Amino acid sequence: METKPPIPLAVLVGIQTPDVTDVAHEASLEELGRLVKTLGYEVIATVSQKRDGTGAGLLLGAGKLAELAAITGGTGVVGSMAQAPKSKARQRFEGPADTQDAPTNATRKPEFVIVDHELSPSQIRNLERATGAEVLDRTGVIVEIFHRHANTREARLQVEMARLKYVAPRMRESSAGGGRQQGPGAGESALALDRRKIRDRISELKDQLEAVQRDSDQRRAARRDQLRVALVGYTNAGKSSLMRALTGSEVLVEDKLFATLDTTVRIMQPETKPRILVSDTVGFIKQLPHDLVASFRSTLAEALEASLLLFVVDASDPTHEAQLEVSRSVLREIGADAVPSRLILNKMDRVDEAGRAALMDKHPDAILLSAHAPEDVSALREIIVAFFEAMMTEDELILPYAKQGLIGEVYESARVLSEEHTETGRVLKVRALPAAIARLQRSLAAR
């Protein structure tokens, strides 16, 4: 019977700087723990220290480093990571390793140290030497999760490029030494050759991604005059659940961070005339790597080009205010802060009466709901419809009998209030967005 490999064990490390409160520090470590769980690791310990900054070569003080090393089985000092060679006599003296009993979580040492900050290559190297474990920083964990969850070709290209940009500066020579290459690339060390290959691959990915994104841009251009709502917000705030409730679609819903990386666009149900499109976007998170923000340009463009943004917030999370600010910060970064928006306080079924009253007092204009309550979703749908109704105007279109093939486009882009047949064609009274009416008039006027 084939046995499953053991779950990797990890230790979390946090540094609390003077500008970070105890609550924010604990919340950040808790969130890192959820990220690590999403990665498939088990957190067995947490080491935290208050320091003036995160620039020290070893990050931790001597005492905390020794505490961490005791957990991981390391030496606590920065030495060579290469194992000392053993003579044949010493190997005979020590005998073969005992492999009869598989180690349990109680006896195993953690293989990973996960740090709640972005680390320099030298800090990673020093911590690995002192702890004997593989070290990942917060950015590395997020990039790895994105790598595992990317499904579409565009998302895979985006994540691979961001991953390579993260890995390249952190590469180092192997313990066996970086000898000079023979043949093509002669004179380069193995490290320099690997870095050149990464640069070439990034250039290749950029070309492929530009081609894919041109197709995405064309699809968005075709939807430009349509009514579009974008769900934005912190990861795991309930955007995908709300997407399913509003559209009746079978989009992925999981209680995991970054379960959704690909943009999903669906028609809001019951369908309206003109129809309203709802898009689900990638979730945000504190310290979202800039390379990932840049890579997911087309995904975030759904927010930039939407008519209405719905900021979805997990109201039951004690740090929801900070999460909302992170979401707004990312949207400011891409210039989407000018798009009209409404605040959605989700998961209200998990909030008590006192908490509900406090939220209403702090956010009087917010929409309080649970994505799992049909009456709440129905009320939200009416708010969305009313928002677009206020933007629409009425006008008259004359559809010549020679252009009856455009009638489907008219009914798709506008709500037909009345229709009259004359000698020259149909006279349609319609209600739609001004841009949609202008486009229809251009189509009707074209020869």
Digitized pLDDT (tens) for each residue of the chain, 447 residues in all: 557 788 999 999 999 999 999 988 998 999 899 899 988 899 999 999 999 988 888 889 999 999 999 999 999 888 654 444 444 434 443 444 343 444 455 578 999 999 999 898 889 999 999 999 999 999 889 888 888 877 778 778 888 888 888 888 877 644 444 444 445 555 568 888 888 999 999 999 989 988 887 877 676 666 566 789 999 988 889 988 999 999 987 755 555 555 555 567 889 999 998 889 998 887 788 777 766 766 566 567 777 778 899 999 999 998 899 889 988 888 887 778 888 999 999 999 999 999 999 999 999 999 999 999 999 999 999 999 999 999 999 999 999 888 888 898 898 889 999 999 998 889 999 999 888 899 899 888 875
Site of tokens 């994505």? 371
**9-77+107-145 CATH fold:** Rossmann fold (3.40.50)
DSSP letter at 401 equals G
Distance separating alpha carbons of residues 296 and 260, to the nearest angstrom:
12
Distance separating alpha carbons of residues 406 and 399, to the nearest angstrom:
8
294-307 b/e (C-beta count within 10 Å ≥ 16 → b): ebbebbbbbbbbbb
Decide: residue 72, CB within 10 A, 0-12 exposed, 13-18 middle, 19+ buried: buried
Distance separating alpha carbons of residues 411 and 428, to the nearest angstrom:
10
Per DSSP bridges, beta strands 134-137 and 112-115 are parallel
CA distance to 225, 404, 414, 419, per residue, from 408 (Å):
15, 9, 10, 14
> Which residues have CB under 8 Å from 81's CB, separation 6+?
128, 129, 132, 175
Q: At 385, which helix (H) or strand (E)?
A: helix 374-391
> Which residues have CB under 8 Å from 5's CB, separation 6+?
none
Are 9-77+107-145 and 225-390 equal in CATH topology?
Answer: yes
- Predicted pLDDT of residue 255: 53
- Predicted pLDDT of residue 185: 52
Which CATH number describes the domain made up of 225-390?
A: 3.40.50.300
Q: Which pTM does this prediction carry?
A: 0.75
> Which residues have CB under 8 Å from 255's CB, separation 6+?
236
- Predicted pLDDT of residue 318: 86
Per DSSP bridges, beta strands 276-280 and 264-267 are antiparallel
The token pair at 281 is 């976007």
The residue extents of the domains of the chain are 9-77+107-145, 225-390, 392-445
Of 172, 74, 80, nearest in space to 132 by CA: 74
- Predicted pLDDT of residue 92: 40
CA distance to 233, 252, 338, per residue, from 297 (Å):
16, 21, 17
Torsion of CA 411, 412, 415, 417, to 10 degrees: 0
Decide: residue 339, CB within 10 A, 0-12 exposed, 13-18 middle, 19+ buried: middle
Helix (H, G, I), strand (E, B) or coil at 414: coil
CA distance to 1, 183, 190, 192, per residue, from 176 (Å):
37, 20, 11, 15
- Predicted pLDDT of residue 287: 74
Three-class secondary structure assignment of 298-356: HHHHHHHCCCEEEEEEECCCCCHHHHHHHHHHHHHHCCHHHCCEEEEEECHHHCCHHHH
Are the C-beta atoms of residues 289 and 162 closer than 8 Å to each other? yes
